[in-house]
Amino acid sequence: MGTPQEPRLAVEISGINLRNPLLVSSGTFGNGREYSEWLDLGMVGGIITKAVTLLPCNGNPPPRLWEVPCGLLNSIGLENKGVEAFLAEDLAWLNRFDVPVWVNVAGFSDEEYVAVAGMISDSGMADAIELNISCPNVKQGGLHYSSSPREAARLTAMVQKAVNLPLYVKLSARTADIKEMAVEVQKAGADGLSLINTFPAMAIDVETGRARLANVSGGLSGPALHPIAVLAVWEVAQVVDIPIIGMGGVWSWKDAAELMMAGADAVAVGTLNFVDPEAAFRIAEDLGSFAARKGFESVSELVGLTRRGGIV
C-alpha cells in the first residue's frame, strides 16, 4: 500500500485497501503521469483517472476554462486518446505504482460504455471502474443518463454485466432527486457511488456579451461546490448501503472531514490538485492529526458521524 502512513488513516472500500481515504478525482490528476514528477503517486489513497472513451476524443474548442470567485468552470469535453492507447500507455505505466486505480469511463452510447468498461476490466490493470454518467460538457456524454434514474439504472446494469470489478457510478447533483437516482443505481448493481460531479454553470463576458466558454456552459468545481456535495452525500448516505466517495471543492482536511461525517467512506480532492499537487497527501496527514486529536482509532469512525449525533 505505498509509503507507510499511520494505521489510523487506512480504510477499505469495496474490498480495496487504501492507505488513506484521500483519492484524487477524475480529470484533475491526468492519468497520474503528469503529477509523478511532483509527488510519489503511492502517497495518495487512490487515483481516479481522467475519463476514457472508446475512440480518441479531441474535446471542446477553447476557451475551456473560466475562473469565478471560489470556483472554476471547465468545458474540456472528454479530451482523451481512446481506450486502446490509454491501456497500453497510461494504465500499464500507472500499474508500476502501488496505488489503487479507479478508471473513469465515459461514452456516447450504451454500447461504448459497455465496451470500454469491459476492456478496462479485462485488462486486469484497474482496481475499480467509475462510470461517468454526469459529464456536463458533451451533448451525449452522459448527463442525460443522470437526469433519469431509469436510464442511469439501465446503463449501470448493462455495464455491471460486462465487468469483473467494483463498479462506482458518478452522479450529478443536478437531478430532480439524487436519493432516488442513488437507490435505482444501487438496485441495478452499482458497488459504490462517487458524489458529486461538477455542476452545470455559465459565465458571460459583459463587455462583449459573449459566453466565456466556447462551449457556452461548463461544469463548476471548487469550493463553491462543496456545500452542495456535503448535502448530496448526506442525503444519499441515508438511503443506500454501498460505499460513497465524496468529492466537490475539497480544499482542506475540514472539508474532507465534513464529507465523511455526512456519510462518505472516502473523499476525493479535485480542483485543488491544480493548485497544490501534494494536496491529497497533505490533507490525509491533517485528517489523521484531527482524528488523533479527537481520540479516534480510525478515520472510518468519522463516516456518518453527523447522523449518529456528532462527537459525544
Partner 1 sequence: MNLGSKFSAPIIEKSVYGCLTRVVFGVDQAYLAEPGQFLHVLCGSEDGRILRRPYSLFDTASGTASILVKEAGPGSAWLARREVGEEIDCMGPLGRPFSFSIFDRPALIAGGAGIAPLIFLYKNMCSEGMEPSLFWGIERSGDYGDMPESILAEFQVRIASEDGRVGFKGTALELFTSQQPEDFSAIYACGPRGMLIELTEIMIGDRRARLQLSFEERMACGVGACKGCVVPASDPAGSYLTVCKDGPVFEGKELDWARLKSRVWQ
- Residue numbers belonging to the annotated binding site for substrate: 50, 74-78, 132, 197-198
Based on CB atoms, which residue is closest to partner 1, 166 or 277? 277
Q: Does 82 participate in binding partner 1 (rule CB under 8 A)?
A: no
- Report the nearest approach of partner 1 to the CB of residue 34 (Å): 4
Residues 152-191 touching partner 1, rule: CB under 8 A, are none
Binding residues for FMN: 26, 50-51, 104, 132, 170, 196, 222, 248-249, 270-271
Which residue among 275, 293, 309, 312 contacts partner 1 (CB under 8 A)? 275
**What are the grid coordinates assigned to 231, written together?**
448535502
Q: Does 206 participate in binding partner 1 (rule CB under 8 A)?
A: no
Q: Does 29 participate in binding partner 1 (rule CB under 8 A)?
A: yes
Q: Does 288 participate in binding partner 1 (rule CB under 8 A)?
A: no
**What positions carry a catalytic annotation?**
135
- Report the nearest approach of partner 1 to the CB of residue 153 (Å): 31
Choose one: 54-62, 135-143, 187-195, 296-304; the region binding partner 1 (CB under 8 A): 54-62
- Report the nearest approach of partner 1 to the CB of residue 138 (Å): 13
Choose one: 5-13, 29-37, 151-159, 290-298; the region binding partner 1 (CB under 8 A): 29-37
Q: Does 223 participate in binding partner 1 (rule CB under 8 A)?
A: yes
Contact between residue 78 and residue 59 where contact means Cβ atoms under 8 Å apart = yes
Dump the DSSP string for 215-277.
TBEEEEESGGGHHHHHHHHHHHHTT--S-EEEESS--SHHHHHHHHHHT-SEEEE-THHHH-T
**What are the grid coordinates assigned to 32, written together?**
497520474
- Report the nearest approach of partner 1 to the CB of residue 94 (Å): 13
Based on CB atoms, which residue is closest to partner 1, 37 or 241? 37
Choose one: 63-71, 132-140, 166-174, 286-294; the region binding partner 1 (CB under 8 A): 63-71
Q: Does 37 participate in binding partner 1 (rule CB under 8 A)?
A: yes
Closest CA to 262 of 199, 310, 193: 310
- Report the nearest approach of partner 1 to the CB of residue 195 (Å): 21
Contacts of 80 (CB under 8 A, 6+ apart): 50, 51, 52, 53, 56, 57, 59, 86
CA 26/CA 45 separation, integer angstroms: 14
Strands (E), 161-223: 167-171, 192-195, 199-202, 204-205, 210-211, 217-221
CA 12/CA 234 separation, integer angstroms: 20
Which residue among 63, 125, 179, 296 contacts partner 1 (CB under 8 A)? 63
Dump the DSSP string for 2-59.
-S---GGG-EEETTEEESSSEEE-TTSSTTSGGGTTTS-GGGSSEEEPPPB-SS-B--
- Report the nearest approach of partner 1 to the CB of residue 21 (Å): 22
The count of residues interacting with partner 1 (CB under 8 A) is 35
- Reduce the DSSP state of residue 181 to 3 states and report it: helix
Which residue among 76, 91, 165, 171 contacts partner 1 (CB under 8 A)? 76
Contact between residue 115 and residue 89 where contact means Cβ atoms under 8 Å apart = no
At residue 265's C-alpha, the angle toward residues 199 and 73, to 5°, is 20
Q: Does 274 participate in binding partner 1 (rule CB under 8 A)?
A: yes
CA 278/CA 283 separation, integer angstroms: 9
Task: Please report, as ranges, the residues that interact with partner 1 according to CB under 8 A.
Answer: 27-30, 34-35, 37-38, 50, 58-59, 61-67, 69-72, 74, 76, 79, 214, 222-223, 271, 273-278
